[in-house]
Amino acid sequence: MVKYTEFIMHEVRTRVLSRSHPAIGYLLALLLVWPCVSTARAEVVEEIIAHVNDRVIVLSEYRRSLESLREELRQEAKSGLEMEGLFQQRSKDSLRDLIDHQLLVQKASDLGISVETDVVRRLDDIRQQMNLPSLEALEEAVEQQNINFEDFRQNLRDGFLSQRVIGREVGSRVQVTPEEISAYYEQHKQELERTEGVYIQQILISTEGKSEPEVESLREKAAEVLAKARSGEDFAGLARQYSDDATASSGGDAGFFERGSMVPEIETVAYSLQKNQVSDVIQTRFGFLIIKVLEQTQAGTPPLAQVENQIHERLYLEKIQPALREYLARLREESFLQIKPGYADTGAVAQQASAEKP
């Protein structure tokens, strides 16, 4: 069964933004806040630390954003000293990010943007990945993690709204030309060099400590999972549901392996597969393994056609980050912002410094 806590908190941390969006890395840094900024509930008296037009940011939201940042750094497996240094550096922007996020959500309302279809579709995707029979069951699973389901739903909605505003108001104006891509390729060929290897996902049905009859039953289970994978079911969802490996919570993402770094019998299978092909069931000393090859790389600099999308994304990110900050600065100028003394809004500081430049 899916680990509900890990799966739900993964949704909380990633803000459920589309992975196809070119600016995903930057947007995650901008929107990685739980819970979403919202009007304070009337029955709860909390310390207000910022006004953003007719909405407020309260102290508990700010503290939770700091907790979310710490958790993000923990997930990146940073050492204690390194994590603390990064936390001190990045936490300075926490209030700015909360304000920016609220400005984007409010702008979505001004533009008449609706994302209800996206929210319902995403909730149903989560339900299916968690192998739950209904949205009511998903609501119960969320509530079991001490997360209010309406807050969870609003968090998804605000993430989609922010994404839509950025795509419409900023991303649509950012252009990367074929000439820019070609020039980057020629200038960064050494940087683009690859080692030979494979990037895989995996599902492990563990047989450790099992009796012979149990192993045979697990073999049948592995065959059933393989049939699901080959019939087109989402491999990551199957990994979350069935895999006994530590990679289950990340959809079976095992990462990139250079040639010669894998167990020989698994490596032989991996290199016999084409991109997006799923292996047969592989019996190992740990259990029954199913792998899917997401990418195979050859040693050396790949041709431009193979890395064109990667270069486009990199150049797009370089352009959209300053464009997004400029757009957010304009939203600030059009808005009423009031920050409680003792709290720093680095967005306002940057905006003032930019205005003072000759």
26 and 166 Cβ atoms separated by less than 8 Å:
no
**CA end-to-end span of the chain:** 61
Q: What was the pLDDT predicted at 36? A: 43
Q: Both tokens of residue 216?
A: 């045979």
Q: What was the pLDDT predicted at 125? A: 84
Q: What was the pLDDT predicted at 356? A: 54
276 and 293 Cβ atoms separated by less than 8 Å:
yes
CATH code: domain of residue 145:
1.10.4030.10
**pTM: predicted TM-score of the whole model, two decimal places:** 0.70
**Angle at CA of residue 327, ends 59 and 165, nearest 5°:** 80
Alpha helices in 170-200 (DSSP H): 178-187
Tell me, yes or no, whether 171 and 225 share the same domain: no
Alpha-carbon torsion angle 256, 261, 266, 268, nearest 10: 100
Q: Both tokens of residue 272?
A: 């016999």
Does residue 183 belong to any structural domain of this protein? Answer: no
Report the alpha-carbon distance of residue 57 to residue 190 in Å, rounded. Answer: 47
Q: Give me the residues of the chain with pLDDT under 50, please.
A: 1-43
Does residue 305 belong to any structural domain of this protein? Answer: no
Does residue 284 belong to any structural domain of this protein? Answer: yes
Number of domains in the chain: 2
Tell me, yes or no, whether 33 and 109 share the same domain: yes
Tell me, yes or no, whether 15 and 94 share the same domain: yes
Say which residues have a Cβ less than 8 Å from residue 269's Cβ, sequence separation at least 6.
Answer: 279, 280, 282, 291
Q: What was the pLDDT predicted at 222? A: 95
124 alpha carbon, distance to own chain's centre: 18
Neighbour order of strands in the sheet with 337-339? 55-58, 48-52, 337-339
Does residue 182 belong to any structural domain of this protein? Answer: no
* Domain limits for position 244: 197-297
Tell me, yes or no, whether 20 and 103 share the same domain: yes
Q: What was the pLDDT predicted at 31? A: 37
Instruction: Catalogue the E-assigned strands of the chain.
Output: 48-52, 55-58, 197-206, 253-258, 282-283, 287-297, 337-339
- The dihedral built from the CA positions of residue 234, 240, 243 and 247, taken in this order, carries a sign that is positive
